[in-house]
Amino acid sequence: MKEDRLGLDEFVARLLEMGFVEDKMTHGTPALRALMKANPYIRSFDSPPSLRSAFRWLATGGSSLADFSVTVQDEMPDGSSREWGEHQAGDGSVSFGSMEPNEELLGALALGAEGFRKWFDDRLAYLFEVKRDGETVNQGVVTVGGETHAGGETVN
């Protein structure tokens, strides 16, 4: 477990202090209640007014109390939800929306809607190298927001 990672109870307490509210789906259908009772790291929260224009829900999920992550989702026009950081690729979708439950994330949430959007989009999605004849000729990063930075310059 990473040192700066917060446990679920502490992370949830901090969210509640920031104005997040347990989502009504937590108390939804019997099947959903049973799933959430068996997996207490699966939680959903309505965003506070300071973040509502950015996203509707914050959710925790993963595989255990020790290995959970955080995502944010927004409501789509058809009433469904879509996770931030999800991109459609040629053979399906890829998600870069998973975040660590830590002080950095809580600080970004405290920035409000615009600050959080910028922080989220500027996060690293992946690193790349460009090789020619076995030699690295360039390297860079792609952010969650889709900007490519290579050789110290923004490509797009």
Arithmetic mean of pLDDT over the chain? 83
Residue 76 has pLDDT above 90, yes or no: no
Boundaries of every domain in the chain = 8-122, 123-156
CA–CA distance, 54 with 60 (Å, rounded to integer): 18
Q: How far apart are CA 75 and CA 36, in angstroms?
A: 21
What pLDDT score does 82 carry? 80
> What pLDDT is attached to residue 130?
78
Under the banding of pLDDT at 50, 70 and 90, the label for residue 1 is: very low
pLDDT for the residue 103: 96
84-103: average pLDDT: 76
Check residues 152 and 100 and name the one with the higher pLDDT. Answer: 100
pTM: 0.77
Mean pLDDT of 67-77: 87
Residue 89 has pLDDT above 70, yes or no: no
* Angle at alpha carbon of residue 100, lines to 34 and 94, rounded to 5°: 80
Q: How far is CA 28 from CA 23, 32, 33, 35, 36, in A?
A: 9, 6, 6, 11, 10
Percent of the chain with pLDDT over 90: 37
Q: What is the mean pLDDT of residues 79-87?
A: 75
Residue-level pLDDT at 13: 96
